[in-house]
Amino acid sequence: MVSEGEAFCPGHVTAFFEVVEDPDPRKKGSRGAGLCLGLGVHTVARVREATRPSIDILVNGRRATADVTRKVAEKISAGGSFEVKILSESPLPVSQGFGVSAAAALSTALALDDALGRGTPRAELVAIAHETEVECGTGLGDVVPASLGGMDLRWKPGAPGHAEVRTFRVEANLLLAVLGPEMPTRSVIRDPKKIEAINRVGGACVDAFAAQPTLDRLFDLGVRFAEESGLASKTVLEVIHASRMFGRATMAMLGNSVFATGNREHLATLYLKFGTLQRCEVDNEGARVL
Protein backbone atom coordinates (compact mmCIF):
# COMPACT_ATOMS: atom_id res chain seq x y z
CA MET A 1 0.00 0.00 0.00
CA VAL A 2 1.33 3.41 -1.01
CA SER A 3 1.04 6.34 1.42
CA GLU A 4 1.31 9.91 0.22
CA GLY A 5 2.16 13.29 1.74
CA GLU A 6 2.23 16.73 0.14
CA ALA A 7 3.84 20.01 1.20
CA PHE A 8 4.80 23.47 -0.03
CA CYS A 9 7.74 25.60 1.07
CA PRO A 10 8.19 29.17 -0.13
CA GLY A 11 11.39 30.32 -1.72
CA HIS A 12 13.38 32.88 0.26
CA VAL A 13 15.59 35.83 -0.68
CA THR A 14 18.26 37.23 1.62
CA ALA A 15 19.21 40.91 1.31
CA PHE A 16 22.27 40.80 3.60
CA PHE A 17 23.85 38.34 6.00
CA GLU A 18 26.73 37.43 8.27
CA VAL A 19 28.20 33.92 8.41
CA VAL A 20 28.44 32.31 11.86
CA GLU A 21 30.68 29.25 12.03
CA ASP A 22 30.15 26.30 14.37
CA PRO A 23 31.21 22.64 14.15
CA ASP A 24 27.61 21.66 14.99
CA PRO A 25 25.53 22.09 11.78
CA ARG A 26 22.46 22.84 13.90
CA LYS A 27 24.25 25.83 15.42
CA LYS A 28 26.04 26.98 12.27
CA GLY A 29 24.23 29.38 9.99
CA SER A 30 23.80 33.06 9.27
CA ARG A 31 22.42 36.20 10.80
CA GLY A 32 20.56 38.26 8.22
CA ALA A 33 17.27 39.46 6.81
CA GLY A 34 15.07 38.70 3.83
CA LEU A 35 11.65 37.85 2.43
CA CYS A 36 9.65 34.68 1.75
CA LEU A 37 8.37 34.27 -1.80
CA GLY A 38 4.96 33.25 -3.11
CA LEU A 39 6.86 30.97 -5.50
CA GLY A 40 8.62 27.98 -3.99
CA VAL A 41 8.81 24.18 -4.08
CA HIS A 42 5.78 21.89 -4.09
CA THR A 43 6.65 18.32 -3.11
CA VAL A 44 4.70 15.06 -3.13
CA ALA A 45 6.22 12.12 -1.24
CA ARG A 46 5.05 8.55 -1.87
CA VAL A 47 6.20 5.63 0.27
CA ARG A 48 5.59 1.92 0.59
CA GLU A 49 7.29 -0.78 2.58
CA ALA A 50 9.86 -2.75 0.58
CA THR A 51 12.52 -5.39 1.15
CA ARG A 52 15.03 -3.23 -0.71
CA PRO A 53 14.96 0.43 0.36
CA SER A 54 15.28 3.01 -2.42
CA ILE A 55 14.87 6.74 -2.96
CA ASP A 56 13.78 8.03 -6.36
CA ILE A 57 13.73 11.81 -6.92
CA LEU A 58 12.09 13.70 -9.78
CA VAL A 59 12.44 17.48 -10.07
CA ASN A 60 10.09 19.12 -12.55
CA GLY A 61 9.44 15.71 -14.05
CA ARG A 62 13.08 14.70 -14.50
CA ARG A 63 15.19 12.34 -12.44
CA ALA A 64 17.67 14.32 -10.37
CA THR A 65 20.59 13.69 -8.03
CA ALA A 66 19.33 16.43 -5.68
CA ASP A 67 21.82 15.72 -2.88
CA VAL A 68 20.06 17.85 -0.24
CA THR A 69 16.64 16.33 -0.96
CA ARG A 70 18.11 12.80 -0.95
CA LYS A 71 19.89 13.27 2.39
CA VAL A 72 16.77 14.73 3.98
CA ALA A 73 14.73 11.76 2.68
CA GLU A 74 17.32 9.31 4.08
CA LYS A 75 17.13 10.93 7.52
CA ILE A 76 13.33 11.13 7.61
CA SER A 77 12.84 7.52 6.46
CA ALA A 78 15.57 6.04 8.69
CA GLY A 79 14.49 3.15 10.88
CA GLY A 80 12.42 1.42 8.23
CA SER A 81 12.73 -0.21 4.81
CA PHE A 82 10.83 1.81 2.23
CA GLU A 83 10.59 2.62 -1.44
CA VAL A 84 10.47 6.42 -1.42
CA LYS A 85 9.48 8.57 -4.37
CA ILE A 86 9.94 12.35 -4.11
CA LEU A 87 8.24 14.49 -6.78
CA SER A 88 9.23 18.16 -6.53
CA GLU A 89 8.05 21.00 -8.75
CA SER A 90 9.36 24.57 -8.78
CA PRO A 91 9.33 27.47 -11.24
CA LEU A 92 12.34 29.07 -9.52
CA PRO A 93 15.87 28.75 -10.96
CA VAL A 94 18.58 27.18 -8.80
CA SER A 95 21.79 28.91 -7.66
CA GLN A 96 20.28 32.37 -8.07
CA GLY A 97 19.59 33.30 -4.45
CA PHE A 98 15.94 32.21 -4.30
CA GLY A 99 16.34 29.55 -1.61
CA VAL A 100 15.35 26.61 -3.81
CA SER A 101 17.51 23.99 -2.06
CA ALA A 102 16.13 25.04 1.34
CA ALA A 103 12.55 24.91 0.03
CA ALA A 104 13.18 21.49 -1.52
CA ALA A 105 14.71 20.20 1.73
CA LEU A 106 11.91 21.46 3.97
CA SER A 107 9.01 20.53 1.68
CA THR A 108 10.52 17.03 1.39
CA ALA A 109 10.85 16.71 5.16
CA LEU A 110 7.24 17.79 5.74
CA ALA A 111 5.75 15.72 2.91
CA LEU A 112 7.69 12.53 3.68
CA ASP A 113 7.02 12.66 7.41
CA ASP A 114 3.33 13.13 6.60
CA ALA A 115 3.39 10.16 4.21
CA LEU A 116 5.05 7.98 6.86
CA GLY A 117 2.57 9.17 9.49
CA ARG A 118 5.29 9.55 12.09
CA GLY A 119 4.14 12.86 13.54
CA THR A 120 7.68 14.16 14.05
CA PRO A 121 7.59 17.59 15.77
CA ARG A 122 7.69 20.37 13.19
CA ALA A 123 10.71 22.00 14.83
CA GLU A 124 12.68 18.77 14.38
CA LEU A 125 11.75 18.54 10.68
CA VAL A 126 12.90 22.15 10.19
CA ALA A 127 16.12 21.35 12.09
CA ILE A 128 16.81 18.31 9.87
CA ALA A 129 16.36 20.44 6.72
CA HIS A 130 18.64 23.21 8.07
CA GLU A 131 21.29 20.75 9.23
CA THR A 132 21.33 18.98 5.86
CA GLU A 133 21.64 22.23 3.90
CA VAL A 134 24.62 23.24 6.02
CA GLU A 135 26.23 19.81 5.60
CA CYS A 136 25.80 19.95 1.82
CA GLY A 137 27.10 23.54 1.57
CA THR A 138 24.00 24.75 -0.28
CA GLY A 139 22.87 27.37 2.22
CA LEU A 140 23.11 28.76 5.73
CA GLY A 141 19.94 30.59 6.62
CA ASP A 142 16.95 30.07 4.32
CA VAL A 143 15.26 27.09 5.98
CA VAL A 144 14.09 28.61 9.27
CA PRO A 145 12.62 31.83 7.80
CA ALA A 146 11.02 29.81 4.98
CA SER A 147 9.28 27.75 7.67
CA LEU A 148 7.79 30.95 9.14
CA GLY A 149 6.90 33.27 6.23
CA GLY A 150 6.93 37.06 5.89
CA MET A 151 9.94 39.35 6.26
CA ASP A 152 12.55 38.00 8.66
CA LEU A 153 15.28 39.21 10.95
CA ARG A 154 17.60 36.30 11.74
CA TRP A 155 19.14 37.59 14.97
CA LYS A 156 20.76 34.31 16.05
CA PRO A 157 21.80 31.57 13.59
CA GLY A 158 21.06 27.88 13.38
CA ALA A 159 18.16 25.45 13.53
CA PRO A 160 15.13 25.66 15.87
CA GLY A 161 16.36 25.42 19.44
CA HIS A 162 19.32 27.64 18.59
CA ALA A 163 17.99 30.23 16.14
CA GLU A 164 16.30 33.46 17.11
CA VAL A 165 14.19 34.76 14.22
CA ARG A 166 11.70 37.64 14.26
CA THR A 167 9.16 37.78 11.44
CA PHE A 168 7.03 40.64 10.14
CA ARG A 169 3.93 40.39 7.96
CA VAL A 170 4.52 42.27 4.70
CA GLU A 171 2.12 42.81 1.80
CA ALA A 172 4.19 43.43 -1.32
CA ASN A 173 4.32 42.47 -4.98
CA LEU A 174 7.79 41.39 -6.03
CA LEU A 175 9.74 41.01 -9.24
CA LEU A 176 12.54 38.44 -9.45
CA ALA A 177 15.04 39.07 -12.24
CA VAL A 178 17.93 36.77 -13.20
CA LEU A 179 20.72 38.84 -14.76
CA GLY A 180 23.64 36.46 -15.14
CA PRO A 181 25.01 32.92 -14.68
CA GLU A 182 24.41 30.70 -11.66
CA MET A 183 26.33 31.46 -8.46
CA PRO A 184 26.72 28.16 -6.54
CA THR A 185 26.41 28.92 -2.82
CA ARG A 186 29.29 26.67 -1.77
CA SER A 187 31.68 28.63 -4.02
CA VAL A 188 31.09 31.65 -1.76
CA ILE A 189 30.50 30.24 1.73
CA ARG A 190 33.60 28.01 1.55
CA ASP A 191 35.90 30.88 0.46
CA PRO A 192 37.56 32.49 3.55
CA LYS A 193 38.33 35.77 1.76
CA LYS A 194 34.72 36.17 0.61
CA ILE A 195 33.44 35.31 4.10
CA GLU A 196 35.73 37.96 5.59
CA ALA A 197 34.34 40.60 3.21
CA ILE A 198 30.75 39.47 3.88
CA ASN A 199 31.14 39.59 7.65
CA ARG A 200 32.87 42.98 7.58
CA VAL A 201 29.63 44.62 6.41
CA GLY A 202 26.97 41.97 7.10
CA GLY A 203 26.93 42.19 10.89
CA ALA A 204 26.55 45.97 10.80
CA CYS A 205 23.61 45.66 8.37
CA VAL A 206 21.86 43.14 10.65
CA ASP A 207 22.29 45.45 13.66
CA ALA A 208 20.99 48.45 11.71
CA PHE A 209 17.96 46.50 10.46
CA ALA A 210 17.13 45.32 13.98
CA ALA A 211 16.78 48.96 15.03
CA GLN A 212 14.35 49.70 12.16
CA PRO A 213 12.91 46.52 10.58
CA THR A 214 10.95 47.94 7.64
CA LEU A 215 10.74 46.87 3.99
CA ASP A 216 12.39 50.14 2.83
CA ARG A 217 15.24 49.58 5.29
CA LEU A 218 15.68 46.02 4.01
CA PHE A 219 16.26 47.37 0.49
CA ASP A 220 18.51 50.24 1.66
CA LEU A 221 20.77 47.92 3.65
CA GLY A 222 20.66 45.29 0.91
CA VAL A 223 22.09 47.77 -1.58
CA ARG A 224 24.81 48.78 0.88
CA PHE A 225 25.67 45.11 1.45
CA ALA A 226 25.74 44.32 -2.29
CA GLU A 227 28.12 47.23 -2.91
CA GLU A 228 30.44 46.80 0.07
CA SER A 229 30.66 42.98 0.19
CA GLY A 230 31.97 42.78 -3.38
CA LEU A 231 29.43 40.06 -4.23
CA ALA A 232 27.49 42.03 -6.84
CA SER A 233 28.55 42.03 -10.48
CA LYS A 234 28.75 45.24 -12.48
CA THR A 235 25.48 44.33 -14.22
CA VAL A 236 23.65 43.66 -10.93
CA LEU A 237 24.79 47.01 -9.49
CA GLU A 238 23.84 48.81 -12.70
CA VAL A 239 20.32 47.31 -12.61
CA ILE A 240 19.89 48.06 -8.89
CA HIS A 241 20.76 51.72 -9.46
CA ALA A 242 18.58 51.99 -12.58
CA SER A 243 15.64 50.55 -10.60
CA ARG A 244 15.51 53.64 -8.37
CA MET A 245 13.54 55.51 -11.02
CA PHE A 246 10.65 53.06 -10.64
CA GLY A 247 10.95 51.41 -7.21
CA ARG A 248 13.40 49.52 -5.03
CA ALA A 249 15.70 46.62 -5.88
CA THR A 250 18.57 44.75 -4.30
CA MET A 251 20.63 41.63 -4.97
CA ALA A 252 19.30 38.21 -3.99
CA MET A 253 22.02 36.48 -1.96
CA LEU A 254 23.60 34.46 -3.44
CA GLY A 255 22.81 34.89 -7.12
CA ASN A 256 23.32 37.04 -10.20
CA SER A 257 19.80 38.25 -9.62
CA VAL A 258 17.72 40.95 -7.98
CA PHE A 259 14.37 41.18 -6.21
CA ALA A 260 12.39 44.38 -6.47
CA THR A 261 9.15 46.18 -5.67
CA GLY A 262 7.58 49.29 -7.14
CA ASN A 263 6.11 50.09 -10.57
CA ARG A 264 6.06 46.54 -11.88
CA GLU A 265 5.48 47.42 -15.55
CA HIS A 266 8.39 49.88 -15.76
CA LEU A 267 10.66 47.60 -13.73
CA ALA A 268 9.72 44.61 -15.91
CA THR A 269 10.63 46.54 -19.08
CA LEU A 270 14.03 47.33 -17.56
CA TYR A 271 14.76 43.79 -16.36
CA LEU A 272 13.76 42.05 -19.57
CA LYS A 273 16.60 43.88 -21.33
CA PHE A 274 19.03 41.95 -19.12
CA GLY A 275 17.50 38.54 -18.44
CA THR A 276 14.50 36.54 -17.26
CA LEU A 277 11.71 37.73 -15.01
CA GLN A 278 9.16 36.27 -12.59
CA ARG A 279 6.45 37.91 -10.46
CA CYS A 280 5.16 36.90 -7.06
CA GLU A 281 3.95 38.22 -3.72
CA VAL A 282 5.48 37.88 -0.28
CA ASP A 283 4.44 34.59 1.33
CA ASN A 284 3.32 35.25 4.91
CA GLU A 285 2.36 31.67 5.80
CA GLY A 286 5.62 29.77 5.58
CA ALA A 287 6.09 26.08 4.79
CA ARG A 288 3.01 23.90 5.20
CA VAL A 289 1.64 20.43 4.71
CA LEU A 290 -1.12 20.46 2.08
Domains of the chain: 1-290 (3.30.230.120)
Around Cβ 93, how many Cβ atoms within 10 Å? 16
CA angle 243, 201, 217 (to 5 degrees): 45
pLDDT of residue 184: 81
User: What pLDDT score does 183 carry?
Assistant: 84
Listed in sequence order, the residues at least 6 apart from 175 whose beta carbon sits closer than 8 Å to its beta carbon are 249, 259, 260, 261, 264, 267, 268, 271, 277, 278, 279
In this structure, the strands spanning 257-262 and 173-178 are antiparallel
Cα 257 to Cα 280: distance, rounded to the nearest angstrom = 15
Closest-CA residue to 94 (of 184, 156, 15) = 184
Element (H, E) at 225: helix 215-229
Q: What is the pTM of this model?
A: 0.96
Task: Count the Cβ atoms, other than its own, within 10 Å of residue 245.
Answer: 11
Supply the pLDDT for residue 157.
97
Rounded to whole angstroms, what are the CA distances from 21 to 29, 56, 58, 134, 196? 7, 33, 33, 10, 12
Q: Each residue's pLDDT tens digit in the chain (290 positions)?
A: 889 999 999 999 999 999 999 999 999 999 999 999 999 999 999 999 999 999 999 999 999 999 999 999 999 999 889 999 999 999 999 999 999 999 999 999 999 999 999 999 999 999 999 999 999 999 999 999 999 999 999 999 999 999 999 999 999 999 999 999 988 887 888 888 999 999 999 999 999 999 999 999 999 999 999 999 999 999 999 999 999 999 999 999 999 999 999 999 999 999 999 889 999 999 999 999 99
pLDDT digits (tens, 9 = 90+) for 201-219: 999 999 999 999 999 999 9
Q: What is the pLDDT of residue 1?
A: 81
